[in-house]
Structure 1
Amino acid sequence: MARELAVRTCGLTKQFDRHVAVNDVDLQIAAGEVYGLIGPNGAGKTTLIRMLATAEEPTQGEIYIHGDRLLLDQSNTTLKRRLGYLPDDFPLYDNLTVWDYLDYFARLYFLREPRRTQRLYEVLELVQLQYKRKSLIATLSRGMKQRLSLARTVLHEPILLLLDEPVSGLDPVARMQFREIIKVLQEAGMTILISSHVLSDLAELCTSVGIMELGYLVESARLQDLYQRLSHRHILLTTLGDFKQLQAELNNNSLVKAWEVMAEKQLRVDFDGDEEDCAELLRSLIAANIPLTEFHCTQEDLETIFLKLGHQQAS
């Protein structure tokens, strides 16, 4: 049974003077997904997210959130209140404490007591800043400030979370902490769209990805489908035995597409199968009495797929 669509756009386009930033985008994101939006600078990612957040008005096209048409006028304020948007340059107020900052936004979201105080404690626990609630924002590290911004974004329990480059400039530890928070939010049932240049983070977080180039959505697919379709598998093999015997056995497997000699007694094999096929290849080599000292299977990562698709578009 198909899941409900949290986001659906039809012919979404944004033009600034003569520049078309987003061009005829038909985007679909199922409810509960973490959807990664990737592409080079200037591809249109931020403009697309801003239109979904009602911070930018489309030149043409339509946006639907859980089946309801999203408009910039005052006709659907309730729907807009269910959106959470974290831009890449949202300002913080350094002279406020963490608690006062969140309390200020909770009041803007019309959260009333006792729910307001309860919700502040909940989001502080989520982003692991309970012990900093009385601290001035000016004293926080960059990673803490970004987690505080995320806490502000989810205060009102949005059904759709829009994150534009949320880990930009963060160190590896801060990025890991941010990823863990996103996983908790997804487990709670939130739909999340996140753009990032850190593709390793997206590969760990996302269920689906969209790739933008020059305003177009050139690819949109579940991450596993993308891997199966575009990611090649490599196997590193090292043997103590006769190299020619190993090569002869590899020739007998139709999923072996090519190989490259890496070092003495070592081959890198381009393999067109899945993990079960890798296991079957290993069994056949052992059955042929080939003395292997290494059999290491790897798959091309999301960054390689992205570069490969970019090259295809350019050619």
Structure 2
Amino acid sequence: MSPMELTPETKAAVVTQGLTKRFDRQGAVTNVDLSIAEGAVYGLMGPNGAGKTTLIRMLATAEEPTKGEIYLFGDRLVAGADNLRIKQYLGYLPDDYPLYEDLNVWDYLDYFARLYHLKNPGRRHRIQEVLELVQLTSKRHSRINSLSRGMKQRLSLARTIIHEPILLLLDEPVSGLDPLARQQFRDIIRVLQAAGMTILISSHVLSDLAELCTAIGVMELGCLVESTTLADLYNRLGQRTISIFLLEGVEQLQDCLKNQPGVEDWQINYDQGDQPNSAPGTHCSVIFSGSPEDSANLLRNLIYAGCRVSQFHCQQEDLESIFLKLGHQQVS
């Protein structure tokens, strides 16, 4: 497939052309053409073994391609070269990066800041800055082995951004974290995006990608089978549903639905008052493809027709369901 198209005013942070990686004649990544716009949060999803980690490792210069080209902010990665200038752009967080458990938090970050040749007083200021960002200032003198899993992951992220990269590559960063830790991590990613950083993040927790990402890539068996904006994916494959709860007016409701633009189908269920989170009376679930204006007009028409509406809300099909649809499309 061709790379996701970028608008003329949008610059590319990442471009790959025919990117391929084989291990002992076994293809891990095959002929991937990828474009990621500057400032995007690009979510990479796919099952285990799909090639996500290998692709990220090639972008991070941790793995050399068998063939193909990689361009980061217009600069080409040269096989066999040190690519030092390009590496300055990068912050890479693998899914299994070890921590030095016997160090305290400050010394750990100071060690990596020195590796990136940060000098005082700027080095000290940068460490304080990233500790504040990842909400670990109070743990600056704590030994790493005393931190929770979520704190350790935030510390790993602090280490990844200590040198102020402009491209962040995160491989399964929320794997194994509890809901609160995942939310804290997502909040940090939003701050980094707001600061202008381009972020590629892979995850099996698809709800996290839906909340964070502006674009999505789907990998299957080493191939990039989908690469598009999240909005386009929802428009093409996502099914929207309107839930309507009535106290009375079922006949008027059905008359309105028959003539309403965007209404594909509907189902009516009675006596829902004993169900959790439901209103008493009648519940109608409407499969809807119309615009937000069509939805507003439907509600207005129901009220004008005399329907006593107690609840009316739209629901977008979740990313996990869309991902399963994509899988079925590839099989068929």
- Aligned counterpart for 1:85 among listed residues 89, 92, 99: 92
Three-state SS of the structure 2 residue aligned to 1:26 is: strand
Kindly state the Cα deviation for residue 118 of structure 1 after the two structures are TM-superposed. 1.3
Kindly tell me the number of residue pairs found equivalent between the two proteins.
315
Given that 2:261 and 2:294 are in contact with CA atoms closer than 8 Å, whether structure 1 keeps it comes out as: no
Alignment-derived partner of residue 292 in structure 1 = 309
Given that 2:252 and 2:302 are in contact with CA atoms closer than 8 Å, whether structure 1 keeps it comes out as: no
Q: CA–CA distance in 2 between the matches of 1:263 and 1:215?
A: 48
Kindly state the Cα deviation for residue 259 of structure 1 after the two structures are TM-superposed. 1.1
Percent of matched pairs sharing the same residue: 66
- Aligned counterpart for 1:277 among listed residues 268, 274, 294: 294
Alignment-derived partner of residue 313 in structure 1 = 330
- Aligned counterpart for 1:216 among listed residues 200, 212, 223: 223
Instruction: Give the TM-score normalised by the residue count of structure 1.
Output: 0.96
Given that 1:54 and 1:72 are in contact with CA atoms closer than 8 Å, whether structure 2 keeps it comes out as: no
Counterpart code for 1:306: F
| Superposition pairs of residues 33-52 of structure 1, within 5 angstroms | 33-52=40-59
Kindly state the Cα deviation for residue 291 of structure 1 after the two structures are TM-superposed. 2.2
Kindly state the Cα deviation for residue 266 of structure 1 after the two structures are TM-superposed. 2.1
Deviation per CA, 1:242-284: give whole Å up to 9, x if none.
4333212211123111112333432211011132221111111
Q: CA–CA distance in 2 between the matches of 1:294 and 1:128?
A: 39
Instruction: Give the TM-score normalised by the residue count of structure 2.
Output: 0.92
Given that 2:264 and 2:289 are in contact with CA atoms closer than 8 Å, whether structure 1 keeps it comes out as: yes
Counterpart code for 2:300: R
Three-state SS of the structure 2 residue aligned to 1:209 is: strand
Given that 2:250 and 2:307 are in contact with CA atoms closer than 8 Å, whether structure 1 keeps it comes out as: no
Counterpart code for 1:267: C
Deviation per CA, 1:109-163: give whole Å up to 9, x if none.
1111221111111111111111111111111110110000000000011111000
Counterpart code for 1:32: G
Bigger Cα displacement from structure 2, 237-246 vs 4-13? 237-246
Q: CA–CA distance in 2 between the matches of 1:149 and 1:30?
A: 25
Where structure 2 has 5 or more consecutive residues not aligned to the other structure, the ranges are: 1-7, 272-281
Q: CA–CA distance in 2 between the matches of 1:154 and 1:238?
A: 49
Q: CA–CA distance in 2 between the matches of 1:10 and 1:172?
A: 37
Alignment-derived partner of residue 268 in structure 2 = 261
Kindly state the Cα deviation for residue 72 of structure 1 after the two structures are TM-superposed. 4.1
Kindly state the Cα deviation for residue 2 of structure 1 after the two structures are TM-superposed. 2.3
Kindly state the Cα deviation for residue 94 of structure 1 after the two structures are TM-superposed. 0.6
Bigger Cα displacement from structure 2, 32-41 vs 249-258? 249-258
**Closer, same or farther: CA 240–120 of 1 in aligned 2, 3 Å:** closer
Q: CA–CA distance in 1 between the matches of 2:140 and 2:248?
A: 64
Given that 1:124 and 1:130 are in contact with CA atoms closer than 8 Å, whether structure 2 keeps it comes out as: yes
Three-state SS of the structure 2 residue aligned to 1:92 is: coil
Given that 1:7 and 1:28 are in contact with CA atoms closer than 8 Å, whether structure 2 keeps it comes out as: yes
Q: CA–CA distance in 1 between the matches of 2:210 and 2:90?
A: 24
| Superposition pairs of residues 107-122 of structure 1, within 5 angstroms | 107-122=114-129
**Closer, same or farther: CA 252–113 of 1 in aligned 2, 3 Å:** same
Q: CA–CA distance in 2 between the matches of 1:71 and 1:275?
A: 48
